[in-house]
Amino acid sequence: MKGSAKIGVWQLCCVLLLSRLLSTLTFSPVGAERINSSDYFPSVIFAAMMILLFSVPLILQKHYFPGKDIADVAYTVSPLLSKATGISYVLCFSFFTLVAVARLEMFVGTIVFPDSDSALFIILCIAAACYAATLGLEAIGRVGTISLVLFTGAFAFIMMAMADKVETVNLSPVFYDGVEPSLTAALDAATRTVELAFAAVLLPRANGKAGRAFAVCLLAFTCFAELILFFVFAGLGDFAQTQMFPVHAVAVLSEFSVFRRFDVLLTGVWILSAFIKISLLLYLQSEMLQKVFSRKWNKLYVLLAGLLILVIQVFLAGTVTDYYFTAGLAARAGLYIAFVVLVPSMVIAAALIKRKRGHQHAQSE
């Protein structure tokens, strides 16, 4: 009865979708390339296509090495490569955790508690995330499923309350400055889809039809992003471009009956989603560290990863994460493509070559 710690592929999709939707919710035009509001709509479609393109290594991994995560694939080439891949993924996840925590701190510091020191909240959040990460993938998957339902419900409510404020005249003409701005925004959105790296580690831990789940996930993301951008720009117009968190601004404006503000609802699902994402990232770091070092100390790895993030965020904030937020699209895209596309592609290619050589060697003998 005590099965291996596997989860359903739909549960995995829920977690990954929640993580990606959080990035959409925290979308900030202030830090992004400035484009006309309506150009964001086609950009989501382009972004979905780019995500599909970036997921080719993942599809190859699933096709040629079913049941193996990226470190296991690297192990078929050499144990050293497996360790190197593991370390690179740990660094990558560590950085993503830092970004998620920094985003949360920015949100908490500017919106929820503008007058208080946010260090306490970050300590609380990381402590809670460490606890959650030690509970394992099954717990994360289940919480992700429930939270996605809560997320969708809360967001639907906000949209409904915002409906009377939507004015299509607020929207600019599509492709007014050509296709290029849309493509730029699409690249920006696609390079925020770090969940492909998560899937490279977690896919072997999921039962079920991954292809169908991935398609549904991508479709859901596209629909949600289109919807959210529509409400943001049709509701706020160009005012949205000046907002640090335009989705929050929409929630502040929405009202329904006696309820005058829905930002609390949004804040709730936002913090919950961020908490789950940070927990997942800590768990992923622990998983990869187990591949690199001993399997025994999984809880210690979570704790160490959490401590590292805490120390950096509380004491060194401004030198690491600010760089990411202020860095140009080219730098971010480069970082993303290197870690999420190139590293797995090279590992898979090397493993395939070695496998082919092995087959040839066996046939010649």
Partner 1 sequence: MWNWLKKEENRVTRSIPPDEPPTRVYAEIEKNILYMKEKLGASFDILYKQTYIGKNKAFLIMDDGMCDNLLVTQQVVGPIMEMRDIPDDPSEQMAYIRDRISSGIDQKENYSLDDAVTDVVSGLVILFIDGVPFCEAFGVQGFPKRAIDNAQTEVQERGAQEAFVESFKDNVALIRRRVRSPVARFELQELGATSKTRVCICYFADRTDRQMIDEVKSRLKKAKLDMVLGAGYLRPFLESDVTAIFTSVGTTERPDIACAEMAEGRAVILVDGTPFAMIVPYLFTENFQSMDDYNHRPYYALFIRVLKFFSFLISVFLPGLYVAVCTFHQEILPVSMLYDTAVQESITPLPVMAEAIFIHFLYEIVREAGLRMPKSVGHAVSIVGALVIGDTAVSAGLIAAPMLIVVAMTAISSFVVSKIYYPVSVLRFAFMIIGGLAGFYGIVLGFGVVLFNMCAVTAYGTPYVAPFAPMHLGALWRDSFWRLGWKTLGKRELQIHSLEK
Task: Quickly list DSSP for 285-330.
Answer: HHHHHHHHS-STTHHHHHHHHHHHHHHHHHHSTTTSHHHHHHS-HH
Which has the closest alpha carbon to 27: 247, 187, 182?
A: 247
Q: State which of residues 75, 95, 275, 339 lies at the interface with partner 1 (CB under 8 A).
A: 275
Among 59, 146, 307, 338, binds partner 1 (CB under 8 A): 146
- The residues near 345 (Cβ < 8 Å, ≥ 6 apart) are 56, 57, 60
Q: For the window 52-91, what string marks contact with partner 1 as x by the rule CB under 8 A?
A: ----------------------------------------
Half-sphere exposure of 136 (CA within 13 A, CB side): 6
The region of 90-98, 231-239, 261-269, 346-354 touching partner 1 under the rule CB under 8 A is: 261-269
Is residue 7 within the footprint of partner 1 (CB under 8 A)? yes
| Residue owning tokens 């925004």 | 185
Judged by beta carbon, residue 152 or residue 345, the one nearer partner 1 is: 152
* In the complex, least distance from residue 100 CB atom to partner 1, rounded to whole angstroms: 14
Q: Which stretch binds partner 1 (CB under 8 A): 38-46, 90-98, 190-198, 263-271?
A: 263-271
**Does 261 participate in binding partner 1 (rule CB under 8 A)?**
yes
Alpha-carbon torsion angle 27, 30, 33, 38, nearest 10: 70
* C-alpha distances in Å from residue 303, one per residue of 99, 102, 129, 165, 293: 18, 18, 10, 46, 15
Q: Is 114 in the site for partner 1 (CB under 8 A)?
A: no
Q: Which amino acid is at 15?
A: V
Interaction of residue 125 with partner 1, rule CB under 8 A: yes
List beta partners, residue 256.
259
- Residues 293, 313 contacting (CB under 8 angstroms): no
Out of 266, 276, 340, 341, the residue judged to bind partner 1 by CB under 8 A: 276
Within residues 12-51, the interface with partner 1 by CB under 8 A covers: none
Q: Is 165 among the residues that bind partner 1 (CB under 8 A)?
A: no
Instruction: Candidates 32, 52, 135, 333: give the one binding partner 1 (CB under 8 A).
Output: 135
Q: How far is the CB of 139 from partner 1 (least distance, A)?
A: 4
| CA distances for 287 relative to 48, 208, 265, angstroms | 28, 21, 33
Counting contacts by CB under 8 A, is residue 258 touching partner 1?
A: yes
Interface residues with partner 1 (CB under 8 A) are 1-3, 6-8, 10-11, 108, 112-113, 120-121, 124-125, 128, 131-132, 135-136, 138-143, 145-147, 258, 260-261, 264, 267-268, 271-272, 275-276, 279
